Structure 1
């Protein structure tokens, strides 16, 4: 089964300095039926105004993946670690209960736009506090995985995240390891078809789709496409 969740169905926020779209319950946006999906707890797209920042705070034990779409961000923790991330790069924060984290839009003129994912982390595994990766122009890039396969970011959970960058008309088929996955269009239009699905799901910019009990999904880019496929065995 593939079931779409349109961008119009998502929660939103506009605080002036921060604008956000929430796939699952987050902050003031609460839907008891959408508290996450398997180990994926948060999937937000947020825009920080020029010079804005998120001040130091602690988090539950999660892996936080920030994919920068526009601008330049800096992430710092209370242990003295920091990383600068520009558009086309991503950072992974392996949060600890005794460590606080902050985020800064380094530009005084340009907004910072990014996708942010939170994934439940295994309580027994420890990874570097901050990891950083450059996203090349590959049509399919393994962005994050449990063991850091092929130079990907290493998660503390059995999850695989693919970043897709397809020209119009290109098609790609990806295997799904577990019973669930989530497909998110960052920009562009998608036609998604599973092995068991009867109907093709059409997604437009900002839409997502819950994928359930499909051994693979075939993704066709109707327009130039950028998307994430989050494979969620757990």
Structure 2
């Protein structure tokens, strides 16, 4: 089964300093049918105005994966750690009890745009508070995050694999899935998604899709494409 989640149907926020699009229930947006998917709890695309900040806050035990699409962000925690990430980089924050985080758009001129995932973390596992990787440009496939940090990827505290795909029109990419569920997100561009059971789903920029009980998925780009496939066995 593959079922689309159109960008226009997602929750939205516009506070002036912050604009957001929420795939699942988040903040003021609540849908009892959309409280997450497997261990994926949050998938937000947000834009912070120049100079804007999220004030320090605590989090449940999740891995927060921020993929920076535009601008540069700085993250500070209550333990005195701080780091920055810019467009073309991804940052993983491993939340811990009693530790708060803040996020800041470092530019006074350029908006900060990023895609953010929250993934449930196994209670018994601990990782470094901060991990960061560069996302290879003009490379059709990058393993962005995985349970064991394979191929230099960010190491998650959960059995989840996050695949980053960039394709040109007519190019395709496919992968076998580890378990019964996955989520597909188009960051920009249009595509056809095909599953092992021969189902197809067309997606355009910002659309997502729930994938369930499929052994593999194939993406075929119709325009220049950037997308994530989030493999969610748990």
Same topology, TM > 0.5? yes
In the alignment, structure 1 residue 150 sits paired with structure 2 residue 157: no
Match of 2:191 in 1: 190
TM-score (normalised: structure 2): 0.99
CA offsets 1:110-155 (integer angstroms, 9 cap, x no match): 0000000000000000000000000002211000000100100000
In the alignment, structure 1 residue 61 sits paired with structure 2 residue 61: yes
1:1-234 correspondence runs (5 A): 1-137=1-137, 138-198=139-199, 200-234=200-234
Question: Structure 1 stretches (4+) deviating beyond 6 angstroms?
Answer: none
Q: Are the counterparts in 2 of residues 83 and 132 from structure 1 also a CA contact under 8 Å?
A: no
Cα distance, 1:48 vs structure 2: 0.1
Q: How many residues align?
A: 233
Q: Which runs of 5+ in 2 are unaligned?
A: none
- 1: CA distance, partners of 2:84 / 2:117: 18
- 2: CA distance, partners of 1:95 / 1:220: 36
Q: Are the counterparts in 2 of residues 171 and 221 from structure 1 also a CA contact under 8 Å?
A: yes
Q: Which runs of 5+ in 1 are unaligned?
A: none
Give 3-state SS (helix, strand or coil) of 1:38's partner. Answer: coil
- 2: CA distance, partners of 1:49 / 1:104: 10
Cα distance, 1:197 vs structure 2: 3.3
CA offsets 1:71-128 (integer angstroms, 9 cap, x no match): 0001111111111101010100000011000100000000000000000000000000
